Each structure stands twice: as C-alpha cells, then as structure tokens.
A and B are shown apart, each in its own frame.
Chain A
Amino acid sequence: MSPELEILAIAIVTAVAAALPGTYLVLRRTAMVSDAISHAILPGIVVAFFLTQDLNSPLLMVAAAATGVLTVVLIEALIRSRLVPEDASIGIVFPALFSIGVILISRGASDVHLDTDAVLLGELAFAPFHRLTVAGVDLGPAALWSMGAILAVNAVLILLAWKELKLATVDASLAALLGFQPLVVHYGLMTMVSVTAVGAFDAVGSILVVALMIAPPATAYLLAERLGPMIGFAVATAAAGAALGWAVALALDVSIAGAIATASGLLFAVAFLAAPQRGLLAQARRRSGQRLDFAVRMLLVHLLHHEDTPEAAEECREAGLFRHLGWREAWTRRVVGKAEQRELVARAGELVLPTEAGRHLANNAVIGFGD
C-alpha cells in the first residue's frame, strides 16, 4: 500500500471505531464526556512515560485509558455530591487533569519529544512512518493495527452487550429495576470511550477524536429511528467523512485531521438540511403541506356555511372567494385547486360547492378538529 492509502485506511478504521461508542454517548446526552476524556488522558501518558522512559511502551496506553476512567469517576463523584451540576463537573475536572499533565511535561520532559500540541492535534500524515514489524517482516503501520484491534473489540463488545447497552441507554431506571446494573454498563462504555480515545489520539489528535465520536452519530440520529440502523448510518457517515476529508486534505495539502473533522461537520450539515424526515427542508415541506391542508379546511367551512343561503351566489363564487376569505388571489387559486384535486369541492358554473366528502370534512373541522 502507498502511504496515502495507508493513511486513508487508518482514518476510516479510526472513524468507525470512534463512531461505535459515540452513538451511545450522543443518545445518553454525555457527548461532552468524550471531550473531557480525550484531554484528561494527558497526565496518564506523562506519568507512564516518566516510569518507562519509552514513548512506545504499551504501558502508556494502559495508563492513559486508566486516567480516562478516573476522569469519569471524578466527574460522577462531583455530580453525586449534588453540589455541582453535570456540565460544570465536566468543566472542572478535565482542565485540572490536563493542567497537571502540561505542568509535568514542562517540568520534567521538556527535553524529550513529548509535545502537548502533538497530543491535541496529532498528525495523520506521520502515522505510516511508525511500522509494526514482527521478526523483520513489515506488517504495515502500527496505528492501523492498534485501531483495527480497538475497532474489533468495540464491535464485539457492543454486539455482546447489545441488549444491556440499549436498555441502560434508553431507560436506565428500568434497567436497574430488572437487575441489569446500568452503572456497570455506564463504566464499561466509558472504558470503551477512553481506550478508543487513547488509541486514536496519537494518530489523529484528541480534538479530532471528539469530532469523530460526536458528528457521525449525530448525523445518524437525524436519519434513523432505531438503534441498529442508527449505528449503521453512523458507521457509514464516519467512513464517508474520513474518506472525504482525506481526499480534500491530499488535494489541498492541508491538515488531514482538520479536514476530516470539517468533512464530518459538513456531512452533518447536509443531513441537518436534507434528512428525509427530520431535515430543515422536510420540516419546511411538512409545514407548507399543513398550511395548505388547513386552508382547504377553512375554504370548506366557508363554503358549507354559505351553501343553500341567499348569499351563496356571491359568497361561493370562485372569483370572489379571495375577498371573502381575506386571502391573496394566487393562494386562493392554489387552495381551490388542491381541494378540487382531493375531490372535496366541485365547480358548478361560477360557483364552487363542497362535495359530500367536503361537507363531512368541514363538519368535523367545525365540531371536533377531527378528520
């Protein structure tokens, strides 16, 4: 594989691995925890580095993931004390941990290559340089293997605990009542988020991790009505965003991580505008349909009211309707046309008269707002 394709592969695998736990974060309204975890793992990495003096030691990963879980424990402890609301707890804990990390680095490791901005931003372009070699054989970029393993573990865990995760996400009280231990599920999910964030940060940086965990699932939330399809859409959006960002970054020679975050955001924007049921356009279409429907009813009520009265010749005359209803002429024509198309009115010479179905609808509209 060429380095470019290797980067693409790493990007897609990372995006999909992040979208899996991200779906549950979005549904559980704890999306900002991903931001907290991805920043707060810094001191874990630094301490483990001081102990091992080796930037590639797997202990760094373990320590970072443990710090991620510790972050969640601290946040939960603050929330449970009932002294601080949830969002403030997050906003207090992770800057404190991150500060400890930055201070440790600048006091102890400033002569070593452990840059805080590398942690935050990552650089996907360098990922292929770090190879996994076993017995002298080059097996490809190490990041591809580590993220692939994390993706596999995430997928298997979610399949195994599908029912538990779903129940604890949708109705934590019911889950507790049925003996499903939502707290265990919660911490399990948070461990998954931590490990994924740790695996992803040195390839793509911690801020992109946040984009990958939130944006594709949020996009999927606008497209799907059930958990299974939502995860499917999230995975597809994540892969598409990664590929799109990669292509743009390659063409324009810009930050790949940044381009992927931007592409994921753009995909969300597209869904926000054009999602079939929940997009802005669909909402506008639905609203204009309802407006027309309401106008048809008002027209029918008007016609029914004046039918068989002496004024009918004037009040039900098609050309005069707009004046009696106080509508614009073009709109009135459209409403009458719609009513005719639905066979609720029929023309009789100059007059517009309700049909039997139209009378029925008008009566219901007056009496009970029914159909």
Chain B
Amino acid sequence: MELFGDYTLRVVALGSGVLGAAAGALGSFAYLRRQSLVGDALSHAALPGIALVFLLTGSKAPLPIMLGAACAGWISTLAVRLVVRRSRVPYDSALGMALAVFFGFGLVLLTAIQKRPDAAQAGLESFLFGQAASLLREDVVVMSILGAGCLIVLGALWKEFKLLSFDSEFGDSLGRPMRRVDGLFTLLLVVAVVIGLRTVGVVLMSAMVVAPAAAARQLTNRLAPMVVIAAVIGVISGVSGAVLSSLIPRLPTGPTIVLVLSAFVVLSLVFAPGRGLFWRWIRLGRLQPAAALNPVLMHLYALSQQHPEEPDHGHGLAVLRTMSPAGADLEQVLGDLQSRGLAHVVGEGLWAPTPIGRREAERSLDHEAEVRS
C-alpha cells in the first residue's frame, strides 16, 4: 500500500483507470457495430488537430490540445461517412485512408512548424506512444471530467445507443433521429480516444477500444453486463498496467496496459463459460462421432431425404459429382463408405445410404448444430 502513496503513480493509475472505463464502455458499442477500428483511425487522425492548435497557440495545455485532436478526429469520421455513402469505396478502405492521410498531413504540419524533421519527431514520441509518466494532476482532472461526461451521456441515452447497435432501421421506424444518435456516439468515441492519447498513444489506442469489449463479449450475451464488464476490465488493465510499469524499470506504461488487456482477451476466449475454446474442445471430444463428417455421405443422406417414402431410392455418380468439388475421387470414397456399412449399391451404378449411414449422417448434423451454437 506504500505503492499508492507515490504521487506520480497515483496520478498515472487514476488517469489510466479513467481511460480504461470510458474506452471500455464505449468500445462495447463500437464492437457490436463492427466499428472496432474507428478508434484506431480516430487516434491517428487527431494529429493534424494537435499540430494546428500548437501552431496557433504555441501552448501544450491539455484542454486546447484535446479540443484540436477531437476536431480533427471528428472531421475524419465525417470524411469516412461521406466517402462510404457517396461512392463505392468500401468502409475499411475509407477508414484506412482517413487514418493514413490525416496522419501524413499532421506530419507535414508538424515539420512545417518546426522546420526541422528531427525536432518534430522527438516531440511526436509522446503522442505516438503516450507518456503516462508525464501526466499531471490537471491532465487527470480534465480526463476524469471528460470520461465521466461520456459515461453520463451513455447512461442517459442508453436506449438510443442500444437501438443504434442492434437495429438502427427499427429506430428509424420509431421516429428516433438515428443519424443524430450515430453522430453523438461517434463524438463520445472521439472524446474517449482523445483522453487516451496522452496515456497510451496513437498506435495502441485501438486496443483500449476493442480489447475490453472483445473480452466482455465472451462472458455475457446481454448488453448492460457487457458494457459494465468491459469498463471494469478497462479499469483493471489501466491501473495494473500503470502499477506494473512503475514497479519494473524500463517497462513503458501504454504497451504494458495493452498486454494486460490482451491477457484478458486470451483468457476469456479460452475459458469463457459455455463459449470458450477450452469448453468447446472438451465438448467436441465427447461428441466426436465415429464417422468424421463425410461430405459424400451427407450428400447421399440429403438426396435420400427427398424420397422419404422409398429408403432405397438410389442416385448416380453424376449427381454426386456435381455436388462435390472437382477432382474428388468419388469411387474410392463410396467404396470406403460401403466397406464401413454406411452406403450400399441399390441398382445399376445407383447408391443410397444404409439405415446405419442415415443415423450417422443425422448424428453428424446434430454435432454440427452443437458446434455452431
């Protein structure tokens, strides 16, 4: 507990925790809307805003810089929306382009300000990778106010954001202003990203948005618990990353937070109750049927289902061939099925599944359904 007596650490841990909560909660919605990479694009696109504010005011005070970053990020999302709506350029291309072009423009501005490429890059370091250790009390106060603001708006418009994430058209049909809700959500995400720039930097910001949501998604199928769990994971990762990096020398804060987050993701992917890979593996082992899912047998079964009245209605090789990939050695597979008693010849070159074969096929289908669920 002597640890938390350390003033710097307390400030850094608090800042990282606030960031984790805001990014985790908002990230859950981005995750569900398949917009996980927006955080990545936003954080890169913030650079020209920061450079411009610095150019105009010459100050590094947190609020104006954050405001500039937010404006640039916001404009980049508008550009992406315009391009996707009015051209056939796919969403991910538009996003990647906004990310790289805005960032490049930011670099141009920075070098133009300083007229010395080296100096600009040296100043950039904290922006790219974050410098949690340099956080001051006033930074954390601003971050906390913004983060709390985000969470309050999120709570106040919970229903609208839920609609937006699951069925935006339904929201439209109810007469809700879904486009404005969408815009507001993006704005909140911009704020969360901007909070994080000082702490984890541009490159790792996307993990702060995606990873808590991905981990939380494995643990629950309901929105409210997911958002809460994601926020909690964000806080735990932020604080423990800050503590770890202060305990171990030369361990940068941002990357440490991201690795703690990644550990959460891996653990929940593997061990999440019901859904986790580990349980799936166990279930698979228990259910693994004697016959591996044999496509030819499945085709025979599917064909026989079309003649439920006559179990021995056979089908020729030509039919099976059109259902199978080119070059498959059907004769050999059928011979194999016959020797295992799963299929038999019912006429001149006509094949049908045996009753055992039909049962096997049904078991395979059940198994498949189980795996998919």
A interface vs B, CB < 8 Å?
Answer: 25-26, 29-32, 34-35, 39, 78, 81, 83-88, 90-92, 94-96, 98-100, 102-103, 106-107, 110, 116-118, 120-121, 123, 125, 176-179, 207-208, 210-211, 213-215, 217-218, 221-222, 249, 252-255, 257-262, 264-265, 268, 272, 278, 280, 283
Contacts and interface: CB of A to CB of B under 8 A. Distances in A.
Contacts of B105: 258, 261-262, 265
A214 B104 CA distance: 13
Interface in B74-125: 83, 86-97, 99-108, 110-112, 115, 117, 120-121, 124-125
Given A87-B36, A95-B203, A117-B128, A218 B93 contact: yes
B189 to A, nearest CB: 13
Given A103-B251, A116-B129, A280 B86 contact: yes
Given A116-B129, A125-B117, A278-B88, A83 B31 contact: no
Contacts of A95: 203-204, 206-207, 211, 258, 262
Nearest to B213: A88
B204 A35 contact: no
B90 A31 contact: yes
Interface in B194-216: 203-204, 206-207, 209-211, 213-214
Contacts of B91: 29
Contacts of A103: 251-252, 255-256, 259
A111 to B, nearest CB: 11
B40 interface: yes
B250 interface: yes
Contacts of B262: 92, 95-96, 99
Given A117-B125, A264-B104, 13 more contacts: A29-B93, A32-B96, A95-B203, A102-B252, A107-B251, A178-B326, A207-B99, A214-B96, A221-B93, A254-B111, A255-B120, A272-B87, A283-B86
Given A96-B259, A258-B104, A272-B83, A211 B97 contact: yes
Nearest to A34: B96
B44 interface: yes
Contacts of A255: 104, 107-108, 110-111, 117, 120
Contact of A221 (B39, B89, B124, B258): B89
B44 A207 contact: yes
A123 B122 CA distance: 13
B40 A35 contact: yes
Given A84-B214, A278-B88, A31 B34 contact: no
A-B complex: 10 closest residue pairs judged by Cβ atoms: A261-B104, A258-B107, A265-B101, A211-B100, A95-B207, A99-B255, A91-B210, A210-B100, A96-B262, A258-B108
Contacts of A25: 93
A96 B112 contact: no
B19 to A, nearest CB: 14
B303 interface: no
B326 A177 contact: yes
B214 A88 contact: yes
**Looking at chain B's contact residues, is the secondary structure mostly helix, strand, loop, or mixed?**
helix
Contacts of B210: 88, 91-92
Given A30-B92, A88-B31, A107-B250, A98 B204 contact: yes
- Most B C-beta atoms less than 10 A away, residue of A83, A94, A106, A217: A83
A107 B249 CA distance: 8
B214 to A, nearest CB: 5
A208 B259 contact: no
A358 B262 CA distance: 70
A324 to B, nearest CB: 35
Contacts of A208: 100, 104
Given A95-B204, A258-B107, A26 B258 contact: no
Interface in B330-373: none
A207 to B, nearest CB: 5
Nearest to B272: A83
Given A30-B92, A81-B269, A96-B258, A106 B250 contact: yes
8 contacts: A31-B95, A91-B209, A95-B203, A99-B255, A107-B250, A207-B103, A261-B107, A265-B100
Contacts of B117: 123, 125, 255
Contacts of A117: 121, 124-125, 128-129
B207 A211 contact: no
B94 A87 contact: no
B285 interface: no
A154 B129 CA distance: 33
A261 B207 contact: no
Contact of B35 (A35, A87, A125): A87
Contacts of A31: 90, 92-93, 95-97
B104 A120 contact: no
A98 B117 CA distance: 24
Given A96-B259, A255-B110, A257-B104, A215 B326 contact: no
Contacts of A217: 93
Contact of B129 (A86, A102, A249): A102
Contact of A264 (B40, B89, B101): B101
A87 B129 contact: no
A102 B104 contact: no
B87 A91 contact: no
Given A95-B204, A96-B258, A106-B251, A29 B209 contact: no
A26 B91 CA distance: 10
A110 B249 CA distance: 12
Given A121-B121, A262-B105, A35 B251 contact: no
B37 interface: yes
A117 B130 CA distance: 12
B144 interface: no
A118 B275 CA distance: 42
Contacts of A257: 104, 107
Nearest to A110: B250
Contacts of B259: 96, 99-100, 103
A218 B97 contact: yes
Contact of A214 (B100, B115, B207): B100
B211 A92 contact: yes
Contacts of B110: 255, 258
A7 to B, nearest CB: 13
A179 B255 contact: no
B175 interface: no
A363 B308 CA distance: 54
B325 interface: yes
B124 A121 contact: yes
B97 A91 contact: no
Nearest to B326: A179
- Most A C-beta atoms less than 10 A away, residue of B83, B95, B214: B214
